[in-house]
Amino acid sequence: MSRLLLGVSGGIAAYKALETARLATRQGHSVRVIQTPTSQRFVGRASFAAITGAPVLAGEFDPDPARGAYPGEPVPERAPISHLALVERAEAFLIAPASANTLAKLAHGHADNLLTTAALAAACPVLVAPAMNDRMYRHPATQANLDTLAERGVTVIAPGEGELASHGEHGVGRLPEPADLLAIWEQAARGSGAWSGVRVMVTAGGTQEPIDSVRFIGNRSSGRMGYALAERAAARGATVVLVAANVKLPDPPGVSVVPVRTAAEMKLACEAHASSSDVVLMAAAVADFRPVSPAASKLKKDRGVPLLELEPTEDVLSDLSAHRLPGQVMVGFAAEHGEQAIDYGRSKLERKQLDLIVVNDIARTDIGFDTRKNEVTLIRRDGLEETIPRADKSQVADRILDEAQRLRATTHGEDDGAARTASVGATTP
């Protein structure tokens, strides 16, 4: 996890900064916050302190009880210079909301408060998320300031369009949603890490095999696990393509989504993208069977009960495993039912020649299909097993990605420090 610094300037959108900080800490990041004096008129220091578990600074002469440390770190013996310590240890500095006044100060190198002073001292990636009235945002001075910051390497997160703070006004100037801000913030922090430049393909959801023009054979997979994997991989700096089978979830930020319906369509999409991907995470639940001859129109009840003849669908994971690239790490997912789940997982590990398999028991109603939480067991080819206790699927996804990274490093080696290719295949809710 990363050390993230959040700067909050004055504006009604400061409430979204509070939620962004909450989401970041929920993901396990260590977060510190710097506020401008004006921002405290919208959200008080105590709110950010309660969420991050760390003191919030607003002035250059504010004492810092944590002495520049981030949550979870030991407090140094000596007190550092406040405007240098927090940003010196930060892996990414996000200023959200960034008011027109703060943007002007940053563009012209002013250092009249702790936030702008810290920005001048930042060696880590700096990101600004403008939020203001649309007329202020479109003003040539604001646009020129944003251009100046972008030319200097600052990441400008474009505002959204919609209702503004002023009653009845609509336009460009809304601060992006907290989840989107966090994804970009995380990606900046991870940009120089092991996943930077890694191309990832993820599959998610459940395929649907048509019986007639309205009915199909399918499963209860919501796609949440696959979407969590895609989102967390993107947050680590990877370039992610998500092949989504019948998923009704918002697209993860920064991820290219390819919709498919059937197992045959998924196979074609995987073949198209896997060959150019460094990491393949197949978290989709692919149907094992499909009707041999689906009806072109709707089958009518008054014509009797139809006899369905089934045939096997394509085994996408086996096909990818058979054509694995040199140096690939293959990881499978197994959604199994009941007491034999682990045994079935071990069998699949051997049968499909995988390096790792992730097993979850779909007999439980509190994890797996169409829930926000999961509990899985990781089984490696060397026989070691590890249970990841019940947690949010995003946290489970992070642990799976950690293990995939470990396998790349230890199984195939990384002489030059670059990440080796990994493929992860799956069938999971």
Residues 6+ apart with CB under 8 A from 235: 182, 183, 186, 187, 190
pLDDT in tens, 378-388: 998 888 899 98
Which is catalytic among the residues 113, 145, 219, 246? 219
Instruction: Report helix, strand and coil shares of the chain as percent, to nearest 5.
Output: 35, 25, 40
217, 211 Cβ separation under 8 angstroms: yes
- Other CB atoms within a 10 A radius of the CB of residue 218 amount to 18
Question: What is the rounded average pLDDT of the residues 259-276?
Answer: 93
Span of 1-10, 107-116, 152-161 with lowest mean pLDDT: 152-161
Q: Is the overall model pTM greater than 0.75, yes or no? A: no
| Residue 79 clears pLDDT 70, i.e. is over it | yes
Q: Which residues belong to CATH 3.40.50.10300 in the chain? A: 199-424
Q: State the DSSP string of 86-98.
A: HHHH-SEEEEEEE
- Per the annotation, the verdict on 145 as an active-site residue is no
Across the chain, mean pLDDT equals 86
Confidence at 164, pLDDT banded by 50, 70, 90: low
% the chain with pLDDT above 90: 46
Q: State the DSSP string of 132-144.
A: S-HHHHHSHHHHH
Structure tokens at 263: 């197992």
Give phi and psi for 272, each to the nearest 5: -70, -30
Task: Please report the pLDDT score of residue 198 as a whole number.
Answer: 81
Task: Please report the pLDDT score of residue 39 as a whole number.
Answer: 96
DSSP β-bridge partners for residue 33: 6, 56
pLDDT in tens, 302-361: 788 888 899 999 999 999 988 888 777 778 888 877 778 899 899 988 998 888 898 987
% the chain with pLDDT above 70: 92
Q: Would you say domain 199-424 falls under CATH 3.30.300.130? A: no
Class of domain 3-190: alpha beta
Span of 8-17, 103-112, 346-355, 362-371 with lowest mean pLDDT: 362-371
Task: Please report the pLDDT score of residue 97 as a whole number.
Answer: 97
Task: Please report the pLDDT score of residue 417 as a whole number.
Answer: 36
* CA dihedral of 252, 254, 256, 261, whole degrees rounded to 10: 0
Q: Which residues belong to CATH 3.40.50.1950 in the chain? A: 3-190
> Per-residue b/e over 405-419, b at no fewer than 16 CB within 10 Å?
bebbeebbeeeeeeb
Task: Please report the pLDDT score of residue 312 as a whole number.
Answer: 94
